[in-house]
Amino acid sequence: MNTNNINKVGLDITAANQVIAKLGELLANYQIFYTNLRGLHWNIKGDKFYDLHGIYEEYYNEIAEKIDEVAERIVILGGTPENNFSEYLKIAEVKEISHVFDWKTGINHVVETLQFFTGKLRELHAAGIKSGDHGTVSLANHGIKSFEKKIWMLGAYSQE
Ligand SMILES: [Fe+2]
């Protein structure tokens, strides 16, 4: 059996590389979003403080776990994850935010970013299906489900 084109977990290397590239983009975007959430957690002011200070902490902790999961998936598939912010900033589409005090501006950023991530995860899901990579498909499914729920909850919360 020719194993030249197969990686250690039994997937075609060329197909896996396409998934790895998508995971790398996701990692960079998660890292920027993580720091944005930390800033929102620190700077929120006003009558929503106690709600949103806690919610942002819950969210950045979840994103921290996802960052690790995505980076380790890259290694599992035979790639090397970036760990430098200078590299993340070159490929991330999520923009850095700073000094956001207003709750509505913060929530809007979070909802828009979660919508962006559900789109990225659907693309990742498609790439995973194409390469027979069930582990990545599962990672994408969990992310989509979690973010869709947050989009719903934040939408309901911020309705005036
Ligand atoms: Fe804190």
What's the CATH code of the domain at 113?
1.20.1260.10
Q: If the chain, 160 residues long, is cut into consecutive pieces of 10 residues, what is the mean pLDDT of each piece?
A: 82 96 98 98 97 98 98 98 98 98 97 98 97 97 98 92
Residue 12 CB neighbours (<10 A): 15
Check residue 4 and give its pLDDT: 81
Instruction: Judge whether 51 lies within some domain.
Output: yes
Instruction: Judge whether 7 lies within some domain.
Output: no
Å from CA of 71 to ligand 1 middle: 24
- First vs last C-alpha separation in the chain: 63
Instruction: Judge whether 2 lies within some domain.
Output: no
Check residue 84 and give its pLDDT: 98
55: closest CA among 110, 125, 122? 110
Å from CA of 42 to ligand 1 middle: 7
Q: Give the predicted TM-score (pTM) of the model.
A: 0.96
Å from CA of 25 to ligand 1 middle: 27
Instruction: Judge whether 120 lies within some domain.
Output: yes
Å from CA of 61 to ligand 1 middle: 11
Check residue 3 and give its pLDDT: 67
Instruction: Judge whether 140 lies within some domain.
Output: yes
Range of the domain at 45: 13-158
Check residue 160 and give its pLDDT: 65
Å from CA of 115 to ligand 1 middle: 25
Check residue 2 and give its pLDDT: 56
Instruction: Judge whether 83 lies within some domain.
Output: yes
Instruction: Judge whether 8 lies within some domain.
Output: no
The number of domains in the chain is: 1
Check residue 144 and give its pLDDT: 98
